[in-house]
Structure 1
């Protein structure tokens, strides 16, 4: 058991009807005890950052939205949580940690497939570390189409062989329908 898992932005502010299944899947993945190290990233929308200044998007700028979801709290160690002040992908502290530990391969899961997971995977790839994306433990707050678009871009840029399944999808490509608390019935 020497594998490294990076959980990208599975935080309160990114849980919606399209991503609500991810915390439980990631918790089940961790419970397999296949990973020697588990690291977390979290997105913090800085007041002077581009999301607020250019896009006028003000979510994920404070607690509770920036907190790692409660389902994953048993595995959260403060020194293993790396904050990102925007779409930086890999924070400098995380890159330093990976280099210092001489990591050659990482498994990535999280939210949003088409944004932060994609950027993290490409940044990891760019510094010579092999990223392996567990696709059934990733989702996009914008829905299935955005998730699939992210996977298509990843396939082209880091190789289709680096997109894998953890076997936790229970037959659903995306979030099971009508299972989001407060969701609509058909």
Structure 2
């Protein structure tokens, strides 16, 4: 009998509307990560942001993107993995810890969330801090994240995560896949690289 998995991989907002010249480099890393993780039978969750009319994003900053199905769709490279994920969490805010996701986490007994996706400085960081404050252990896969605002925002978010969570919680795809860093009891995902 296998040991239950207590860590879930959370692919944050890998959506067409968040892909630009600053974030597109994260997609191959996300594909590599989710392929290796899911191949071992570990749980994967996708989040999908939507921006409803009258949202704080519109009211305060005038930002009205991520409203169309085209913008909200999971990127093509990851769509096959999303279709077999444990859950797809739709969310109107930056943190993925919606009541639905919290229930999923509690029912599954997950203690660790491995986070990767877009934007590092918004939804990834906010999900990590929300998880931390709920007593969960967040792991940020630094080279499988990106910011649509550019590398300075990505780097700023990681700087804050080092201070507000812990430098130990920031890992790379290679560290996670080889088992040299990551959730306790994690032994890596030794599978072939996705071309």
Is 1:136–1:167's contact at 8 Å kept on the other side of the alignment?
no
| 2:15 pairs with one of 11, 17, 30 | 11
Correspondence for 1:63 among 66, 69, 84 = 69
**What stretches of structure 1 of length at least 5 have no aligned partner?**
169-186
Question: Greater helix percent: which structure?
Answer: 2
Q: How does 1:113-132 map to 2 (within 5 A)?
A: 113-132=120-139
CA distance in 2, matches of 1:132, 1:35: 19
Per the alignment, residue 20 of structure 1 pairs with 24
Q: Normalization by structure 2: what TM-score?
A: 0.81
Structure 1 residue matching 2:105: 3-state secondary structure = helix
Q: Considering only aligned residues, what root-mean-square deviation do their CA atoms show, in Å?
A: 1.7
Give the Cα separation in 1 of the matches to 2:23 and 2:103. Answer: 30
> TM-score normalised to the size of structure 1?
0.85
Q: Which of 137, 141, 154 is residue 148 of structure 2 equivalent to?
A: 141
Alignment: residue pair count: 168
Name stretches of at least 5 consecutive residues in structure 2 with no aligned partner: 176-195
Task: For 1:38-49, list aligned pairs within 5 A.
Answer: 38-49=44-55
Deviation at 1:34, TM superposition (A): 4.5
Contact 1:5/1:35, CA 8 A, preserved across alignment: no
Shift of 1:167: 2.6
Please give the alpha-carbon distance, in whole angstroms, between the structure 1 residues aligned to 2:12 and 2:118.
6
More deviation, 123-132/69-78: 69-78
